Amino acid sequence: MWKRAEKIAERIRKEDDFLVVTHIDADGITAGSIAAETLKNLDKDFEIRFLKQLDPLTLQALKEDGRLLWFTDLGSGMANVIGDAIITDHHEPVLDVPLEKRGDILAYTDTVEKVTEYHLNPHLFGLNGSTDISGAGTAFMVAYSVSKDNAYLSALAIVGAVGDMQALKTGRLEGLNREILDIGKKAGVLEWKMDISLYGRETRELHRMLQYASEPPFPGITGDEEAAIAFLLEIGIDLKDERGEWRRWGDLADWERKRVINGLMNLMLDSGYDARDVQSLISEVYLLTKEEEGTVLHDANEFSTLLNSCGRYGFGDVGYRVCAGDRGEYLKKALDLLQGHRRVLVEMLGFIQDGGIREYGSIQYFHGGDSIPEEITGTLAGMALSSGMAASDRPIFAFTTKDDGNIKVSGRATQSMVNKGLRLDEIMNRAAEQLGGAGGGHDIAAGATIPAGKEEEFLKIADEMVRSQMKK
C-alpha cells in the first residue's frame, strides 16, 4: 500500500489542477481535508466538493470538469467506470467493468490493472476497510508519501478512523491505523491512553456524561439526570469543585475515576450485560495534543462528532475549515451546528419512540417517512439500538424518504452480532440490488437506497439473510 501511495504521490507532483471529491461524514471530511492540505502545501490549484453519494450522472458531470479528480472516502464502489482519477478509499471496491459498459463514456478499460493504477484501498491488498484503515487513513498515506512534512495530518486521519468506528471491535485502532498513530506521536500531534470510552470525557459535566451515555447505556441512569447525580453521590464522588462549578471527567483524581468505572461495571453486570459489553466501557482514547484540553477538538471522538454535525446538514465546507485550522468564525459555526444536531437528535428520538419500533422476524425497524432527515437516519438507528429503546439482540433497519422520492435504508448492529456472523454490508448490497437499488457499507453499519414502496420486500429479504448469516 505504501508503494501504491508513492505512485499516487508522483502523479500528484506532476499535475497542477485538482478537484477533490469527498463524502460528507467525519471520515470523508477529514479525508478531503487531508487531500486539500496536501495540495495546498504543494501550492497546487484545487477545489473541494462534498457529496452524499456518488452516482453515474454525478460522475459524468465530474469527469467533464477537466481537472484531475481525487476521490477520498468514496469512489471505490464505481472504480470500474471512473476512469483516469485518483481514489483513496476503504469501502469494498468494484473492479470488473460489465460488458455492456465497455465503450461507454464512463468506462475506459476492461482490465483490473488499469482500474487500480492510482487506486489506494485496503481491500486491494487483502486488508479490512472496516478495521485496518479508513478513508482518511488512505488519504494520509498519500499525503505522507508526498512529503514527510505532512506528518501533522495524521491527527486528522485518526479523527476520521474514530469517526468511522474503526476501533469498535477491539476497543483500539488496529492495522495501518497504528502506523499512522506512531507517525503522529513522533510528530507530536497525537497521544493515546486507556480510559473510559464515554462521549463527553472532555466537555460534558460528569453527571451529564452519564445521563447522555448511549454506547453503552446504563440502566436506570441513561436519560435521567437525577439518577446520574444520585449514582455519583452514592459512590462518594463530589460533583462540584471548591469554586462551586460542576466537575468533568478530567477533573477527577485517579482513585475517583476508578471508583466511577467500577461502579458502572457492577451496574452493567447486575443488569445482565455480558463480559464483552462491560469491557467495552474501557478503551483506547485518542488525543490531539496541539488542541486545547477540555475542548471538543482535543478528543478524536468529540472532534469526529463535530464534523458529522457539519456534513450531515450540508456544511462540509465548515468542517473542512476547522480541519484546516480555523479556530474563529468557522469553529463557532461548527459548534452551533453541533448544538443544533443534538436538538434534532433528541426531537427525532422522541418521534421514533412515539411511533414505535416494530419487529419483523429476526430483525426490527422503524419508518421515519419524510419526517426524519435522511442524513441522520443511521445515527438515530444506532442510538435506538444502544439506548435500550430497541431490542439489543437483533439488527435494526431505519427507513426514511429521500428528496427524490426514493427510500433511504440505514442498518445498524452490535459487535456481538457481527461476531456471530452478521454482515450488514452484504445484506444492503444484495437486498437493494434485487429491488433495483444500491447499497453497501460495513459489517456493523451499512446503508442503501431502494425504490419507494419496496420496504416490505426489503424487510423480507433482509430477514432471510440475517437468519442465514447468524445460523452459519
Instruction: Tell me the pLDDT tens digit for each residue of 148-185.
Output: 999 999 999 999 999 998 998 888 999 999 999 999 99
Backbone φ and ψ of 332, nearest 5°? -60, -45
Those residues whose C-beta lies under 8 Å from the C-beta of residue 466, and which sit 6 or more positions away, are 361, 362, 363, 394, 395, 422, 427
Pairing state between β 445-450 and 407-412: antiparallel
451-462 residue pLDDT tens = 999 999 999 999
Tell me which residue has cell 495534543. 289
Would you state the pLDDT for residue 102?
A: 44
Would you state the pLDDT for residue 53?
A: 84
| Mean pLDDT confidence for 387-414 | 90
Among residues 295, 337, 342, 340, which one has the least CA distance to residue 317? Answer: 337
**The three three-digit cell numbers of residue 260, written as one number:** 466511577
Angle subtended at Cα 382 by Cα 377 and Cα 74, rounded to the nearest 5 degrees: 60
Would you state the pLDDT for residue 352?
A: 87
Neighbouring CB atoms inside 10 A of 85's CB total 19
Would you state the pLDDT for residue 111?
A: 43
Beta bridge partners of 438: 449
Please report, rounded to a whole number, the percentage of residues in the chain having pLDDT higher than 70. Answer: 94
| Mean pLDDT confidence for 375-399 | 85
Would you state the pLDDT for residue 99?
A: 46
pTM of the predicted protein model: 0.82
- CA pair distance 84, 66, nearest whole angstrom: 11
Alpha carbon separation from 78 to 104, 198, 440 (Å, rounded): 14, 36, 12
pLDDT at 114 over 60: no
**The three three-digit cell numbers of residue 122, written as one number:** 485496503
How many Cα neighbours within 13 Å face the side chain of 467? 9
- CA pair distance 140, 172, nearest whole angstrom: 19
- CA pair distance 185, 179, nearest whole angstrom: 10
Strand order of the β-sheet with 445-450 is: 358-360, 363-367, 396-401, 407-412, 445-450, 438-441
| Mean pLDDT confidence for 334-359 | 87
Would you state the pLDDT for residue 101?
A: 47
Choose the most confident range, by mean pLDDT, from 88-102, 195-209, 287-301: 287-301
- CA pair distance 238, 251, nearest whole angstrom: 11
34-47 residue pLDDT tens = 999 999 999 999 99
Would you state the pLDDT for residue 96?
A: 67
- CA pair distance 98, 82, nearest whole angstrom: 13
User: Residue 456, exposed/middle/buried by CB under 10 A (0-12, 13-18, 19+)?
Assistant: exposed
Tell me which residue has cell 452484504. 426
Least confident among 26-35, 212-221, 304-313: 212-221
Backbone φ and ψ of 65, nearest 5°? -65, -35
Q: What rounded mean pLDDT belongs to the chain?
A: 90
- Is residue 216 reached through a cis peptide bond, with omega within 30 degrees of 0 on the bond before it? yes
Q: Dihedral of CA 271/275/281/282: which sign? A: positive
Would you state the pLDDT for residue 387?
A: 67
